[in-house]
Amino acid sequence: MLYYPVHTRCKHNITKDNGAEGFMDQLAKSKWLNEQKMYSASNDASLPIFTYIAENLRSELHKFSSGVEYAQITGDLKGLDGPKYSAQAMLKLIECYLDYIDQVESFKQTEPVSLSALLSSVMSSMSGFANWQQCDLDLQVMGKYQPVMANREVLKTVLTSLSSILILAQSEIVHRTRPVVTFVVRKTKAGISAGIYSSVNAIDSKTLKTARQLYGKPGNPTSKSLSNGSAGLFMADSLLGKMSNGLKVSKFNNMQGLSANFEVSQQIALV
Amino acid sequence: MKKILIVEPDNELGKQYQSLVIGQGYQAKLAQSSDDALSLIDSYSPDVVVLELQMIEHNGLELLYELRSYVDWDDIKIVLNTSVKQSLLKKSPVYSRLNIAKYLYKPDTPPSKLLSAIESVVSS
């Protein structure tokens, strides 16, 4: 989408003839933007995603070092919360990547997993980060459900990564009331759905589509900042595709978010 | 007292920068998007804008182009604090026309270096 100045004091007369559109075309074609696409030009399939992760890690490490220096300059120990969460975010990203590259082995080891208990555990682990990002967490379990067969550790990594992304995405949107990120387990036609939803519109279908298209390219579709990363969204999407019907944008109680539907294990059902 | 506008989409970094700039004796406001930045430039009239280029909806180059379109804002000094490498920016045909006072490569720029850069631009 081209962006033309609309301010009444603009000294340029905004018409095609005056070159405003020409500038934007030049910008779009300029190497600066095309640079972002060149990382995908690789014969090594693992290189693009690793480049994506490297961009994410670079951003988090910069925040980490800035946070430490900020705490040193100001003497405010609360300033060290930022580096702590940056380090945790980097660790989650690396965990997600390790699971991503080890998918074949991971998915051989499945067990009955209670989605309600798992989401509750994830919510508990994210409460500090959410509070620091000035949002609240909530859990809604819409009934008693049977366990699903999944690799518990991989699923926990994925759900943690998704909740981290959603919490971070809403933090970059200006909102009047304190937002709430809600973890939901409910029954749908496709099975048991585990989802994470936000009271502010941080994720939509276009965002998820962009995330999938961004494979191999640096960029963060969930945040207004391209410098922050969500390689985790791509990897979570890929991993959930193996465990469930795949990640999708969905709605719950006027909230929008991300969810995946899991089929109840037939073995468990027979037992 | 000089007025600084920090345009930084990352909430955490933006608040840190704002706090440190205020601690140096300046006034400082924070914008997290190009639209917010334009509104604040209009109402706040900053002397210096510290700008990250990588913003999704309207990136920083688009913001700069608009800013440099207005005669009233010709005197606003721009400090780029961005993850986009300068070698790439220089390949853009419009970069030289944007009158950037200082370029900083964000991964190599700790807060102290940013503060020094703002100080040098303000006093120049």
More confident residue, B3 or A246: B3
The answer to whether residues A172 and A219 belong to one domain is: yes
pLDDT at A105: 66
pLDDT at A203: 61
The answer to whether residues A124 and A77 belong to one domain is: yes
**One-letter-per-residue 3-state SS of chain A:** CCCCCCCCCCCCCCCHHHCHHHHHHHHHHCHHHHHHHHCCCCCCCHHHHHHHHHHHHHHHHHHHHHHHHHHHHHCCHHHHHHHHHHHHHHHHHHHHHHHHHCHHHHCCCCEEECHHHHHHHHHHHHHHHHHHCCCEEEEEECCCCCCEEECHHHHHHHHHHHHHHHHHHHHCCCCCCCCEEEEEEEEECCEEEEEEEECCCCCCHHHHHHHHHCCCCCCCCCCCECCCCCHHHHHHHHHHHHHCCCEEEEEECCEEEEEEEECECHHHHHC
**CB contact, 8 Å: B69 with chain A?**
yes
Say what percent of chain A tops pLDDT 70.
63
**What's the pLDDT band for B24 if we cut at 50, 70, 90?**
very high
How large is the average pLDDT for residues A180-202? 85
Domain extent for A82: 46-270
Residues of A in contact with B20 (CB under 8 A): 70, 73-74
pLDDT at B46: 95
pLDDT tens profile A104-115: 666 667 888 899
How large is the average pLDDT for residues A142-155? 86
How large is the average pLDDT for residues A131-143? 88
The answer to whether residues A116 and A205 belong to one domain is: yes
User: For residue A122, what is the domain's CATH number?
Assistant: 3.30.565.10
Domain extent for B87: 3-123
The question of ipTM being above 0.95 is answered as no
The answer to whether residues A77 and A106 belong to one domain is: yes
pLDDT at A20: 41
The answer to whether residues A26 and A148 belong to one domain is: no
User: For residue B110, what is the domain's CATH number?
Assistant: 3.40.50.2300
Cβ distance A63 to B89 less than 8 Å, yes or no, reads no
Residues of A in contact with B66 (CB under 8 A): 3, 5, 7, 10
Number of domains observed in the structure of chain B = 1
